[in-house]
Every structure is written in structure tokens, then in C-alpha cells.
Amino acid sequence: MARVPPSDASDPTGDTTVPPSDGSGSEPVPPTPAPARVSAFGGGQHAAPRVPGAPPSPEPPADPAAAASAPAAPSAAADGDGSADASVPGVPPSAATDPRATPDTAPLEPAAPVPPDPLPVRDRLLLRLLGQRALLLDATPRARLIGWLWPLAVTVLAGVARFWDLGRPHALVFDETYYVKDAYSLLVHGYEAQWTSDPNPAFEAGDVSGLGTAAEYVVHPQVGKWLIALGIQLGGGVDSSAAWRLSVAVAGTLCVLLVARIGRRLFASTALGTLAGLLLAVDGEALVMSRTSLLDPFLTLFALAAFGALLLDRDQARRRLADRTAALLEAGRDLRWGPGLGWRWWRLVAAALLGLATGTKWSGLYFLAVFGLLSVAWDATARRTIGVRHWLVAGIVRDGIVAGVVMTVAAGAVYVGSWWSWFVHPGAYGRQWAVEHPGEGVTWLPPALRSLWKYHLDMWHFHNNLDSPHDYAAHPLGWIVQWRPTSFYYPKSVSGLTGQAAYDACGAPSCSQAITSIGNPVLWWCAAAAVVVAVVVLLRARDWRAGAVLSGIAAGWLPWFAYAHRTIFTFYSVAFTPWMVLTLTYVLGLVVRGGTAEPVDGQDEDAWAARDRRWAAGVVGALVALIVAVSVFFYPIWTAWVVPYQFWHLHMWLPSWI
């Protein structure tokens, strides 16, 4: 019977290091985990792996005949959960138990007999592909319930912070002047139309008579503006400033729930997932962008949801791979490139969400590229884990090509479909370009698509050449430490108050009312340091989680360095804020766990190690308490409270923040 092949060395997307091969084509067999009380595999009555740290049960007497026919136990070193376990020293591989062995690779000494493994092949593969922590995460109804209750609790906290007095101020804040009015125009005309000169005071008073019918040239797709329009429609109409912001508040609150659930699955820990959700709930940039009706919160929501869908796809694909690989091995068949994995619905969902992200802002394309490559890398390393020799080629041919086609076509179809309103309204900007310019452009396209292509070329030219000066323009290098945050709102009608009017407004000689899109500084500075740590862990330990948490930062931050010549702002970093939070949570988890994903199997934690873990947990708890306290301190200048000028100035820790 074919044996379960050993795993290779680790990589950024899946596995941790195992002992090297001696050249014989098989590796030493580690000790077999003893049964645990609760099954981790969701089916059958077979034994589950021993909980790390529990003493191993005595091994049964060796049976040479059974050892020759039983599949070899996989190493726990590459279980996909970051834990490592050494192989049995002094046990050479045996040609008798490895069908790949040849006379040229046979060992010089006879092998010690290998006892039969009590776990079926499928379950041992699952341990290696997903890891014990992940398999036990939802093992009981109580675990599943707690896995929802704590994330929902921090989501409620986030909702309170975002929805409380959402209509303050009753004024168009920063770029709301574009997107809110465009959203209302979509409701009325189905396309973005021009407004009369200086329409904001009348619009804020509920007078929309300044809306014309001539099409307006806009440079962003329509998905985000349609969502703002939906909020206006459901939230009480254009008279309500809370209705302008209803959709972004919902999007920002949902992001907290997604981060908590994604963190739980990613780190196989409800506590760490809840911590990640809490950090996002109290971050200033995430909060301000959840109370200001711009497009970026929707980009963040769709990209984050797509990331979560790909994590679900990773788990589902690895379970399917374990099932089908076990069937091949138990039938004595050669793995070759490994089994096919069939249709991947969660990957299709992710592609559709990334199409919506791109239909909100074009920077969603970077998330599509990075997440697509990450998902294929997860597939390739899964094939390596089950023992496919040419795993990289197999991953590209079996998974990568199909994934590339499916994700690109699905995302592209959703993106083009998101322009439906532009297609059906002849008066939309550039809609008749092909009719008015016969024989020009991409002539083989239908007229409607030819017009859309020309419109996109104009939009690209605008985005790539925007260089109008702005006081709050910021180089992307400083975004990660919030070096030059964007001031969204600081009205002279408040800051210019003097005398009794100032005392009546804020109880001081001078007042301020601000909305400053600055992240919680302690959180962001710690997260910036955590990014460095995660990069080091990725390069040295090749923990797949490090690659996962860094992927969103790579997609949402690094591409902007190519556009540093144009006018860009720090608040664009909200698109990768969830991954900054996840990176910080990942590193804090390493601190509490002593730098490992979990205790090494078979080793009891001594008193000193337990004390160190308690000390580390105390330090992490103190840091989280400090972050929450800083958020409470900054909340008034994130949410446009009227406060004394000196109180506002106390928050300007750096000159670049003013």
C-alpha cells in the first residue's frame, strides 16, 4: 500500500520545517499522537490527535507485518498550524515500507519496525494540512457559539462608536461634496449630473434644485456611489446628514465583524480574533472613515470580505485534498500531481467581491492580483505537504491556471456589470462617444464597450497625472506611521468664535471642531513595528500566517509608491488598516505564545515558561488597555465635538499633524 509522503520544508503559505531527507526517498517516522477525548475531524469515531502538552500514551507492541503494510504517520512538523515536532532519532527509513525505494537508495541498516497508526490516512493528512488548533476550533457547540458571541460583542461596540450622532456635523465633509451629491444624482437620473455653482449650502439645507441634467465627468466607478445612494434612500432622504453616511457606517461596522471572524480562523483562536476586532473597532482612521461618506470604506469592506472568502476556500480545498489524497493512497495509486479539487465556490465569491472592490475604486485591482497569487501559493504548498514531488508545477498547472482564468473573468464580469446604469442611460458621460466618433478607438468592440474603453482611458490619464497641490497631500512612506494625517473638517465658524460666543460654545476663550482622519497613534506605531517583525518571521520561519497578514498591506500600500508623484493622502491607508490590525494581533499572539504557534507536542510547560506566558499576557493586556484609552482621548477630534482649542491642541503630538 502506498504511504503518506513526508512534507517538505516550510514556506510563507503553509508549512513549517521538518527534518531533511537522507536521500532514500522517505523520512523518519515521528511518534504517533495518542487519542484525545474530542474528535477534531467532524465525522466518524476515530481518535483525534493528542492535545499538545499532554503526555503520550504507551505505544502498542511492534508488529513487523502490520508495519510493512500500514501507511506511515506524517510528521507533525508541517501540520499547517505552526507547531513543530522532531522525528524519532536513530530510526532509519526502510525500503520495505517505502514503494519508492530502489536498491540504489536502500538503507545500509535494517529499519526498526513501525507500529501501526491509529488514525486513518485522511485524518493524518488533515493534521498536516490544517493543524490541530484549526481542526479543534469549532469542535464543540460551545466553541462555535463563543466564536460568534465575542466577535459580535466587539461589533456592537464598533457600531455604537460609529452610529452615535452620525449626522454631526450637518455639513458636507471633505470629499463628501463629490460622492454624496453624485449618489443623489444617481438616484434621480441614473448617472452623475452637473450641479449649479456653489450648491453645497443649498444641498445641506435640503434644496436639490441645483441638480441639472448635463452629464458630469467623474473619475471613479459607480458601486460605492450607488451604496451611498441606497443609504440616502433608506435613511430618511437627502435632508438627513446621517442618511448620507448610513452606508459607510454599516460598512465600517461590518469590517469589524469580518476582522474578528477572519482573525479567529487565521490564528485558530477566538481570543486573538476578538482582539483584532477590538483594535479595529477603536482605531481612529477606521472610525472616521466609517462616519464620512467616501468610497474607501466600501473598497475596504469588499477587499476584506474577499480575503475571508479565500481563507474559507483554503480550508475547504485542503479538506477536499485530504479526502481525495487518502483515497488515492489507500488504493495504492501514485499521487503524481495530486488529485483535482473540483469547483471552488469560495474562490468565485472572492473574485466577485474583488470585482465590486474594483468597481468602487480601481485600487481594488491590486488586491485581486495579490490575493489571487496568495491563493494559488496556498494550493501549491498544500500539494507539497501531501508529498507531490513536482508541487510547484502541479500547483500552477492544476490550480493556478484555472484560478487565474476564473478569478480574472469573474472579477472582470462583475466590474463591467457594475456599470449597468451607465449602459442603460444614453445621457451618461461619454456614453455616445462611439456614435460620435465612428472608426476611432478600439473598433472591434461593440459601440457601448468602445465608449466605455475611451472613458476609462480618460480616467486613467486623470489619475496618473493629478498633481494639484494640497496642504494635506502625503507621501505613502509616512502613511504606515500616520505621519501626515488628513484634516477633513475644521470650520472657521467655530474656530473664529470669540468672547461670550466662544464660552457659550465650548466654555473657553477659543474653540475647535475637528474631524482628523488619524489612526490611533499607539496602535499604528506598534503595528508598524509588528510589520517588521512579521516580515522577519516570514523570511526565517516561513509561517503562512505572516504572509497572509502582510498580503493586504502589500496590496493596499506598496502600489502607491508608484504614484508618489501625484496628489495622494494618508486616508487611503484605510484600505489596508484591517491587515495592520491583523499583523499587530499576529505578533502579540507570538509574544503570548513565546514565539511559537502552540506548545511543542509532548513537552510539558514548566513553571518558568508558564510564568513567562502570564507575564507576556499581562504586557499585551496593558498595551491593549493603553490603545483603548488613547482612542477614548482622541474620540472628540475624530467625531467633530466642539471643544476648547487647548484640548484640541493637546492631541497634536507632532507638528505634521496640524
pLDDT tens string 223-244: 999 999 999 999 999 999 999 9
Let me know whether 362 and 506 are in one domain. Answer: no
Find, among 125, 122, 38, the residue nearest to 79 by Cα.
125
Cell numbers found for residue 162: 460609529
Tell me, yes or no, whether 64 lies in a domain.
yes
For cell 498633481, what's the residue? 467
Q: Confirm if 627 and 287 have CB atoms less than 8 A apart.
A: no
Is residue 347 a part of any domain in this protein? yes
The three-class DSSP label of residue 557 is: coil
What would the mean pLDDT of 27-51 be, rounded to a whole number? 38
Q: Are 326 and 121 in contact (CB under 8 A)?
A: yes
Helix (H, G, I), strand (E, B) or coil at 516: strand
Cis? peptide before 169, omega within 30° of 0: yes
Distance CA 119, CA 645 (A): 68
Q: Bigger pLDDT: 615 or 411?
A: 411
Q: Which amino acid is at 270?
A: T
Is there a contact between 418 and 356 (Cβ–Cβ < 8 Å)? Answer: yes
Using one digit for the tens of pLDDT, what is the confidence trace for 585-604?
A: 999 999 998 765 544 444 44
Look at residue 498 in the predicted model and tell me its pLDDT: 94
Strands (E), 76-182: none
Whether residue 425 is contained in a domain is answered as yes
104 assigned to some structural domain:
yes
Question: What span, in angstroms and rounded, lies between the C-alpha atoms of 583 and 581?
Answer: 5
Rg of the chain, C-alpha, whole Å = 28
Over residues 361-386, the mean pLDDT reads 96
Nearest of 171, 156, 157, 158 to residue 640 by alpha carbon: 171
**Domain membership flag for residue 549:** yes
**For residue 599, which phi and psi values (nearest 5 degrees)?**
-55, 145
Q: Average pLDDT for residues 168-174, to the nearest whole number?
A: 96
Residues 6+ positions from 5 with CB-CB distance below 8 Å: 335, 386, 387, 388
Report which listed range, 56-60, 113-117, 221-225, is most confident: 221-225
Length of the chain: 658
Residue 54 confidence (pLDDT) above 70: no
Q: 53-57, 106-110, 215-219: lowest mean pLDDT where?
A: 53-57
Do 375 and 456 have their domain in common? no
Q: Say if 240 falls within a structural domain.
A: no
Residue 456 makes CB contacts below 8 A (sequence gap 6+) with: none
What grid cell was written down for 338?
495530486
Residue 605 and residue 637 in one domain:
yes
- For residue 140, tell me if it sits in a domain: no
The position carrying cell 525505494 is 101
Pairing mode of beta strands 642-644, 511-513: antiparallel
Q: Report pLDDT for 117.
A: 60
pLDDT at 45 over 60: no
**Grid cell for residue 2:** 502506498
Query: In the listed set 94, 123, 152, which residue is the last one of a domain according to the structure?
Result: 123
Residues 419-445: what's their mean pLDDT? 94
From the number of C-beta atoms within 10 Å of its C-beta (0-12, 13-18, 19+), residue 595 rates as exposed
Residue whose C-alpha cell reads 499585551 in the numeric block? 620
Mean pLDDT of 94-116: 43
Can you give the pLDDT at residue 366? Answer: 97
Q: What pLDDT score does 116 carry?
A: 60
Instruction: Tell me what percent of the residues of the chain surpass a pLDDT of 70.
Output: 80
Residues 454 and 472 in one domain: no
CB 489 within 8 A of CB 463: no
Contact 394, 380 (CB under 8 A): yes
Contact 567, 484 (CB under 8 A): no
Q: Alpha carbon 172 to chain centroid distance?
A: 31
Task: Single out the residue of 25, 27, 29 nearest to residue 105, CA to CA.
Answer: 25
Enter the C-alpha cell of residue 270.
Answer: 477566538
Number of domains the chain contains? 4
Roughly how many angstroms between the first and final C-alpha of the chain, as a whole number?
Answer: 71
* Pair 442, 366 in one domain: no
Same domain, 400 and 547: no
* Percent residues over pLDDT 90 in the chain: 74
Which among 465, 491, 512 is the end of a domain? 465
**Distance in angstroms (rounded) separating the CA atoms of residues 633 and 656:** 19
Q: 57 pLDDT exceeds 70? A: no
- Write down the pLDDT at residue 613: 84
Say if residue 535's pLDDT is above 90. Answer: yes
User: Are 537 and 408 members of one domain?
Assistant: no
Q: How far apart are CA 338 and CA 383, in angstroms?
A: 7
**98 phi and psi angles, rounded to 5 deg:** -125, 110
CA dist 313 and 329 (Å) reads 24
Q: Which of 415, 442, 465 is the last residue of a domain?
A: 465
CA distance 9 to 484: 42
In the predicted model, what is the mean pLDDT of residues 317-335?
A: 92
Across residues 572-591, what is the average pLDDT?
97
Least confident window among 15-19, 202-206, 356-360: 15-19
Residue scoring higher pLDDT (322 or 10)? 322
Based on the fold, state whether residues 390 and 517 are members of the same structural domain.
no
Q: Can you say whether residue 53 is alpha, beta or left, with left for phi > 0 and alpha for psi between -120 and 50 degrees?
A: left
| Mean pLDDT lowest among 7-21, 379-393, 474-488 | 7-21
Supply the DSSP string of 182-218, one letter for each residue. Answer: HHHHHHHHSS-EEE-SS-HHHHHTT--TTEEEEEP--
Judge if 436 and 402 occupy the same domain. Answer: no
Who contacts 461 (Cβ-Cβ below 8 Å, separation ≥6)?
none
176-189 as b/e, with b when 16 or more CB fall inside 10 Å?
Answer: bebbbbbbbbbbeb
Lowest model confidence (mean pLDDT) among 53-57, 152-156, 369-373, 491-495: 53-57
Three-state SS for 577-600 is HHHHHHHHHHHHHHHHCCCCCCCC
Residue 541 and residue 595 share a domain: yes
Question: Which of 92, 131, 143 lies closest to 113 in space, CA to CA?
Answer: 92
Same-domain pairing of 645 and 508: yes
Grid coordinates representing 187 are 438616484
Residue 112: per-residue pLDDT = 56
Q: Is residue 82 part of a domain?
A: yes
Residue pair 204/180 in contact (Cβ under 8 Å)? The answer is no
Give the Cα separation of 149 and 286 in Å (integer).
Answer: 22
Give the residue carrying C-alpha cell 516550510.
10
User: C-alpha cell of 63?
Assistant: 508488529
Is there a single domain that holds both residue 404 and residue 504?
Answer: no
Burial class (CB in 10 A: 0-12, 13-18, 19+), 622: exposed
Indicate whether 118 pLDDT > 60. Answer: yes
Mean pLDDT of the chain: 84
Q: Which domain covers residue 54, as residue numbers?
A: 1-123
* Secondary structure (3-state) at 440: coil
Q: How much is the pLDDT for 221?
A: 97
**Cα angle value 519/597/580 (rounded, 5°):** 15
